[in-house]
Amino acid sequence: MLRQYELVDLVKSYDPYADEDALNRAYVFALKKHGSQMRTSGDPYYSHPIEVAGILTKYKLDSASIIAALLHDTVEDTDTTLEEIKDLFGEQVAQLVDGLTKLAMLEHKSGSSKQAENFRKLLLAMSEDIRVLLIKLADRLHNMRTLHFCPPDKRARIARETLDIYAPLAERIGMDELKEEMDEISFAELYKDAHDSIVMRLNFLREQGNDIVPKIIQQLEKDMEDNGVHCTITGREKSPYSIWRKMQLKNASFEQLSDIMAFRICVETVADCYQALGIIHSKYHMVPRRFKDYISTPKPNGYQSLHTGVIGPLDVRIEVQIRTYEMHEVNEKGVAAHWAYKQGQHTEGKNFRWVRELLEILDQAQNPDEFLENTKLEMYNDQVFCFTPKGDLIGLPVGSTPVDFAYAIHSNVGNTCVGAKINGEIKPLRTILQNGDQVEVLTAKNQHPSLEWDRFVVTGKAKAAIRRYVRINKREQFITLGKEIIDKLFKAEDQEFSEKELVKYLSNFEAETVDDVYAKVGEGLVTGWDVLRIMHPAYRQSKLEKVVSAIKLPVFNKKDKNKRDSLKIRGLIDGMAVHFAGCCHPLPGDRIVGIVTTGKGVTIHTVDCPSLHNYDKEPERWLDVDWGPEAEQEKHIARLKLMLSNEPGALAEVANIVAKAEANIINLNITYRTLSYFEILLDIEIKNVDQLNNLILNMRAEKLISYVARANK
């Protein structure tokens, strides 16, 4: 643990004008406030904020960030207030601590949406000040370093969250060294067997050729010196996690990888970079498709370098990275390498394009889970670079289409997209874009997003915008349907209805407008009978009694299966025959409605089932029902529609994901097949809709599965 004077000296070493008095007071304040609190590791709790501050000094952060790191747990874990922080250390530090405190308080909550809500809060906090993200990343890194002291279930949860959220964020702001350490610890925790296997192979390679790296460096240095290029060359192994990721992405074995060893050449100028590249390519055979120029087209996080794969000295396949010293500094430290606030400017996260894009996804997402899903898509993918007709560069994830390109330009361009020209030729909207393509988006005022686009777009921004349009369009349909249901019901029951009268009862439906009530009725959240009973309290006739008296329904004895099914549904007469619709496959947790059929009983549908339109003119058949307490005691059948890459192991991966979700495949039907993908319908046994939604999220995270959703047929 850093001593007080050591921490102050570290800050003063790169910032001579740092507020030494404030740093000393913050150190002592953290010590006193955390007092006798202990960590799971047995260390004093105050060692944690001190180590977090120490990590940030490596990135030469300003004194306000270091002070906020020292104090980041005081408001949450002690009797300290934000007002006290503000009085003692100023408004800037208080705002940073406030953002971090809200995140910490949220992290202690449980539930499936906690991670999504946590990430939403983090995005909003870092959009105001990007330093919140930097302090949070340092906080997470130190927690990962002491992860082995936590219980196994907690270790797995923290490691997964780190791998899914925090490591990609670190990559986004270019902090590669921090990202690699978090990746490595998470990988060892979540995939121990794979990690140990790769480490064992790397150790074997070292033993077989422990002098290979120095010899290759020596030869490369001689090559540069002979051609008058002054440089510094270093060599290193790729991390076990990056090797494993590449094996997964390329479906390759360890032995098939060509860049397990990477060599970095740092030079003075950009011209020297290309001269060094020419020397390497003129002397050694280049590995096809292994050259990337990130100097002319930097990554979104500012990363610049030349990458090439060659059969290098000693006939060893290696990767060579060539960059200037300045590029290397930025590549290692990311956004912290050229702080805006050092010039007295603002540090808003909104200055970064990727933060603005995530904020736009947040604005369009229906809920935190959808936001998290779309932002994961936005953060994880490697890049392809395409050009507008004017020559502007657009960076997109690998696998992007012209629709993704259109939304990357502007949401309105995406919404009105009707076609695209790629390199001057009109191409289908689902065409996969390649590096260097020039894309011209064709638009029309009357065009609107198609739900089919959601099948092939890959960017989170495009998916969020398409789903938002679909939600708005669905609301309009729900309003129309709800109004029809209410009008028909009131006429059938000979009761008076007026919108002016309904306005008086909006609060009963937690609605702000009459359209809100119509939409809830159309969606099935509220029934027409609910509206009738609230507007006419004296009306008492039971619809169910009326239906039963008018239609002879079959009733079964206690041993019959339909008798048992009726116990799963509230709102039915005991013994009434019950069937679950095969068109929509309702599950516990879905909003449902019962449809009475003469001589057959009641069929249970989801409220958004398309077949319900067949009964629009027969409101007397509709029953207000809900799931009973016994609904989840048995498995139910759900149907999924999937689009898979036509690759070996794709179906096995689907089966593996289903098994991990504790579900069971009972039927599989391939409905369409091409050379690159195939479409299947999958029937599975599952308990409830929450279990199904978690399964769908897990499937969407699998790269071999490009589309998955519940099927209506």
Active site amino acids: 76-77
- For the four alpha carbons of 430, 431, 435 and 436, in that order, the dihedral sign comes to negative
Cα gap 49→30, rounded to integer Å: 8
Given phi > 0 = left and psi -120 to 50 = alpha, else beta, which region is 323?
A: beta
Cα gap 588→690, rounded to integer Å: 9
| Residue found under tokens 């309904």 | 502
* Cβ atoms of 136 and 122 closer than 8 Å: yes
Cα gap 59→63, rounded to integer Å: 12
Structure tokens at 2: 């850093």
Distance of CA 414 to the CA centre of its chain: 21
β-strands 601-606, 578-580 pairing: parallel
Cα gap 185→177, rounded to integer Å: 13
* Cβ atoms of 313 and 215 closer than 8 Å: yes
Starting at the earlier edge strand, list the strands of the sheet with 705-710. 664-673, 677-686, 636-645, 705-710
Closest CA to 462 of 421, 420, 401, 418: 401
Cα gap 46→27, rounded to integer Å: 9
- For the four alpha carbons of 489, 495, 497 and 503, in that order, the dihedral sign comes to negative
Cα gap 690→695, rounded to integer Å: 9
| Residue found under tokens 């207030």 | 81
Distance of CA 477 to the CA centre of its chain: 29
Secondary structure element (H or E) that encloses residue 383, with its range? strand 383-387
Residues 6+ apart with CB under 8 A from 161: 115
DSSP state of 343: G
Cβ-based burial of 504 (10 A; exposed 0-12, middle 13-18, buried ≥19): exposed
User: Would you state the torsion angle of the CA atoms of residues 328, 332, 338, 341, taken in this order, to the nearest 10 degrees?
Assistant: -170
Cα gap 103→106, rounded to integer Å: 5
Distance of CA 410 to the CA centre of its chain: 21
Query: Buried b vs exposed e over 392-429: b needs ≥16 C-beta within 10 Å?
Result: eebbbbebbbbbbbbbbeebeebbbbeebebeeeebeb
DSSP-based three-state secondary structure for 576: strand
Structure tokens at 425: 């030729």
